[in-house]
Amino acid sequence: GKGGIGKSTIASNVSVAFAERGERVLHVGCDPKHDSTVAVMNGEMIPTVVNRDFGPVAVASDIVRVSASGVHCVEAGGPQAGVGCAGRGISLTLEILDRAALLSADRYDVVVFDLLGDVVCGGFAMP
């Protein structure tokens, strides 16, 4: 979807709403502006996946931060708007989530991805 229409606001509120219902929630922010994870984390910017140097083993505690509402957050990060390819950051994040076993079926009840609406350079065409 188009920028500025509320995707990040909706994604962050959906994550918190599920957590308040007792669901185990992983919220993955994939917007270089960090909009949704900052909202879930009450204004705190968390470290990004693209700015970390991962060795052969990736562990959840390296990238997951827990909000006051109990939502587990990961932020992909990426280049500033108009510079570079955000799709590469998203691809790296998906790889690290897999290596850290964060997407295993029994770990979370709900996983919310806040994706950009126009990432095409990394192979994504729509959210």
Read off the pLDDT of residues 11-51 as tens digits, 9 standing for 90 and up: 999 999 999 999 999 999 987 778 899 999 999 999 888 87
pTM score over 0.75:
yes
Q: Is 95 inside a domain boundary?
A: yes
Q: Is 96 inside a domain boundary?
A: yes
**Span 56-87, pLDDT tens digits:** 778 888 899 999 999 999 999 876 656 556 56
Q: Is 123 inside a domain boundary?
A: no
By the 8 A CB rule, do 89 and 50 touch? yes
Q: Is 106 inside a domain boundary?
A: yes
Alpha helix segments (H runs only) across 7-74: 7-20, 35-40, 60-63
pLDDT at residue 108 is higher than 90 = yes
Give the number of domains in the chain: 1
Show the tokens assigned to 37. 């994870």
Handedness of CA 105, 67, 46, 29 (dihedral sign): positive
Which region among 20-24, 60-64, 88-92, 100-104 has the lowest average model confidence (pLDDT)?
A: 88-92
Q: Which amino acid is at 65?
A: R
Domain of 84, in residue numbers: 7-115
Handedness of CA 37, 28, 52, 100 (dihedral sign): positive
Q: Is 2 inside a domain boundary?
A: no
Q: What's 79's domain CATH number?
A: 3.40.50.300
Q: Is 122 inside a domain boundary?
A: no
Residues tagged active-site:
2, 7, 33, 118
Q: What is the pLDDT of residue 127?
A: 46
DSSP H or E segment with residue 60: helix 60-63
Q: What is the mean pLDDT of residues 118-125?
A: 53
- 85 versus 7: the higher-pLDDT residue is 7
| DSSP secondary structure letter of residue 48 | B
